[in-house]
Amino acid sequence: MDNSFNHSLEKVSNCVYRLKANNTLQDAYVISSEKLLGLLTKDRTLVQLSNVARLPGLVGPVFVMPDAHEGYGFPIGGVAAFDAEDLDKGIVSPGGVGYDINCGVRLAVVDLKIEEVRQKIKELTNELYKNVPGGLGSKSAKLRLKESELDELAEKGIDYLIKAGFATSEDKKCIEEYGRMPNADPNYVSDEAKKRGKDQVGSIGSGNHFVEVQEIKEIYDESIASSFGLQQGKVCIMIHSGSRGYGHQVCSDYLKKFEKYLAKNSIKILDKELVYAHLSTEEANSYLKAMACAINYAFCNRQLLLYGVREAFSKVFGIDELDVKLVYDVCHNIAKFEDHTINKQKMKVCVHRKGATRAFTKHRKELPEKYYETGQPVIIPGSMGTASYVLVGTQTAMELTYGSTCHGAGRVMSRHKAKEEFSKRDISNELMAKGIYVRATEKDNIYEEAPGAYKDIDAVIDAVRCANICLPIARNVPVAVIKG
């Protein structure tokens, strides 16, 4: 671990700063406004960014986004790209993906006016609470799997749920990677990971995960908003969850395996949390196959949560379940092979996004047909009780940040400190006074996830807009929140 960190920040363009640090192999950049910049010095975010910039196999600069904060090895909000053409140079690092593999967000819309929903908000919230299990160790309400079925789900992703009747072909078109990473192989996932994940697929979990009913409050680009199915005054549903204990165990297992790989090859690193393996090795190949299983698991987890949401809306409002239409589903803890232009040459790279969201602009081959002319929807949740945003990526993002942007508001307070600070207040009633109905499995989670524990989401969005890596399309505000 680097304890002799000397650095300064040089502004290079609007809301883009270059980190001047000792002995980095690549440049490191901070996407931030002046307003948010000071928060990055309150923990080890910039130290970690500097350490990432010293990893081998990088093809260009590394980044943190304005919601960044200290993480495991890589900072949360970190983006880095490694050589995927020369596999002896390029690497993959579990710390650059995180424990909650494919933690992500999906957005769905329903053709109901906010006034209609507010009239039945308590009934709807209670129905959602029954249909979307939350809390530490929570289990699915919709699906019980044998291990062989879990393996099939992890290998096939959303295709498994289409066959089982929990998803549609239209849903598949609106999911990053179309809901299935093709190289998934459950043989590389431990029995412990399968044991932890078997009954959890289709549950929120705890921490900052949620299901939220929102009002589409403001529209900034009518044309793109319309193509996304967003209308001011209508209702949408945001789902934030990941790969639960399954992905957590995959990360834990491979951190140990990568530690052994580095020791076996006498490779020394600055921070033991930045363990890695070269892409040419069996260790890296095994992790990528296991990680893909966790990615597919998370896609299915969010799909089953959407299924529960559809049932709740159908029961309360008498609509068809499929009237709750999926807009898009994005990942924000992932390593993927993508083509990017580096030094004016197109090359294949392994992009690590940890607490960062893909923000591809229009005309990328990875985009579904319906978003080919607009760019993909970029879904950025705020903290409980604050706004969330839908944005679209830009060409600047493609050129600067490997098509990446922020993933949320970003914590400024530890869970322990937040609990200490906010348990003195009745946060639920404070939110209720603002017209936000909240139900949580664990009362402490309301304190730990209080809005004051996070950065100002409006300031975060202003920073990515200022840097021109994302443009706001819609601003949503919560009317009901289901927490773990």
274: domain CATH number is 3.90.1860.10
Top-ranked range on mean pLDDT: pick from 15-19, 441-445, 449-453: 15-19
Give 3's pLDDT tier (boundaries 50, 70, 90).
Answer: very low
pLDDT at 393: 96
pLDDT at 420: 87
- pLDDT of residue 2 exceeding 60, the answer is no
- Tell whether 2 is covered by a domain: no
- Tell whether 311 is covered by a domain: yes
- pLDDT of residue 18 exceeding 90, the answer is yes
pLDDT, tens digit, 9 for 90 and up, residues 271-329: 999 999 999 999 999 999 999 999 999 999 999 999 999 999 999 999 999 999 999 99
pLDDT at 91: 98
Give the helix/strand (H/E) hosting 127.
helix 121-131
Cβ 228 vs Cβ 390: under 8 Å: yes
Cα–Cα dist 470/461, whole Å: 8
- Tell whether 280 is covered by a domain: yes
Give the helix/strand (H/E) hosting 214.
strand 210-219
Instruction: Name the residue range of residue 193's domain.
Output: 7-87+100-483
pLDDT at 392: 98
Identity of the residue numbered 76:
I
pLDDT, tens digit, 9 for 90 and up, residues 197-251: 999 999 998 878 999 999 999 999 999 999 999 999 999 999 999 999 999 999 9
pLDDT at 138: 58
- pLDDT of residue 140 exceeding 70, the answer is no
407 counts as catalytic = yes
Lowest mean pLDDT among 58-62, 117-121, 129-133: 129-133
- Tell whether 133 is covered by a domain: yes
Counted domains in the chain: 1
pLDDT, tens digit, 9 for 90 and up, residues 100-121: 999 999 999 999 999 999 999 9
As a whole-number percent, the residues of the chain with pLDDT over 70 amount to 97
pLDDT at 206: 80
Top-ranked range on mean pLDDT: pick from 8-12, 314-318, 341-345: 314-318
As a whole-number percent, the residues of the chain with pLDDT over 90 amount to 82
C-beta atoms surrounding 428 within 10 Å:
17
Cβ 332 vs Cβ 103: under 8 Å: yes
Output the average pLDDT for the chain.
Answer: 94
- Tell whether 95 is covered by a domain: no
Cα–Cα dist 218/392, whole Å: 15
Cα–Cα dist 73/70, whole Å: 8
Ranges of beta strands (E only) in 303-367 are 325-331, 333-342, 345-354, 357-358
Cβ 260 vs Cβ 129: under 8 Å: no
- Tell whether 376 is covered by a domain: yes
Which of 240, 248, 278, 407 is labelled catalytic?
Answer: 407
pLDDT at 292: 98
Cβ 380 vs Cβ 357: under 8 Å: yes
Cα–Cα dist 323/387, whole Å: 24
Give 1's pLDDT tier (boundaries 50, 70, 90).
Answer: very low
Give 351's pLDDT tier (boundaries 50, 70, 90).
Answer: very high
Give 22's pLDDT tier (boundaries 50, 70, 90).
Answer: confident
Cα–Cα dist 484/268, whole Å: 40
Cα–Cα dist 81/334, whole Å: 12
Cα–Cα dist 183/337, whole Å: 11
More confident residue, 426 or 190: 190
pLDDT at 419: 87
Give 447's pLDDT tier (boundaries 50, 70, 90).
Answer: confident
pLDDT at 5: 63
Output the CA–CA distances (angstroms, integers) from residue 210 to 219, 385, 484, in the order listed. 24, 12, 7
Q: Which residue has the tokens 């969201």?
A: 357
pLDDT, tens digit, 9 for 90 and up, residues 415-439: 888 888 888 788 888 888 888 989 8
Cα–Cα dist 100/87, whole Å: 26
